[in-house]
A = this chain, B = another copy of it.
């Protein structure tokens, strides 16, 4: 309970998008990956998550991500079970259609996971952060200093030989490094990861926390 849950479309998204941040909170971070094609990417994902020091990794076997009711329900079930404080997922303006669909699924799942009418022990996620894989964030809200876990982020990426081998000119390794270095320049540290903060409802009739008593505490 608590911690960070990264909900991603494909194996390697978690490492490229937020691997340094997950490793920084390694005892408290989990990954849910919605697709896994071809199947041998599953081993790669597990090796990457182990390298990042993460606990459990859940993999669904969707062919591609479609924001349909059954998938939303499955994701909400995971959210209720893990009850993360922070969820990380893809950008709604990502160039990849699976990433955009994952954003839609996660938004809906977070809503339903919080409903007292849907779950006996609902879970109100505190923060939703959106990460950058190949599509960059124009103006981030949050820059997480990952200087101390960058080596593990790099090592985790190396698990994905099936992907890396498609780019013999080492695209993903360079991109992974340079993106973290650019965000590090903005964050005045060596390496960083960038996120958009997406506001979530905190109060309302369907949540356990129906009202706020004090804005300053």
Binding site for B on A (CB under 8 A): 2-4, 21, 24-25, 28, 63-64, 66, 68-69, 85-86, 91, 93, 95, 97, 108, 111, 116-117, 127, 129, 134-145, 166-167, 169, 171, 174-175, 177-179, 181-182, 184-189, 192, 196-205, 210-216
Contact = CB atoms under 8 A, between A and B. Distances in A.
A212 B139 contact: no
Given A95-B111, A137-B138, A175 B144 contact: no
Contacts of A174: 185
A2 B216 contact: yes
Nearest to A97: B108
A215 B140 contact: no
A215 B185 contact: no
A186 B199 contact: no
A29 to B, nearest CB: 9
A137 B138 CA distance: 6
Contacts of A136: 136-139
Contacts of A142: 201-203, 212, 215
A184 B50 CA distance: 31
Nearest to A178: B182
Contacts of A212: 142-145
Contacts of A196: 199
Nearest to A186: B205
A22 to B, nearest CB: 10
Given A189-B211, A212-B144, A216-B86, A166 B117 contact: yes
A1 to B, nearest CB: 12
Given A86-B216, A175-B185, 5 more contacts: A97-B108, A129-B215, A137-B138, A139-B201, A188-B211
Nearest to A171: B205
A169 B175 CA distance: 24
22 contacts: A3-B216, A66-B68, A117-B166, A136-B138, A136-B139, A139-B201, A140-B201, A140-B204, A142-B202, A142-B203, A143-B204, A143-B212, A144-B215, A167-B205, A171-B186, A171-B188, A178-B182, A179-B185, A186-B204, A186-B210, A187-B203, A189-B211
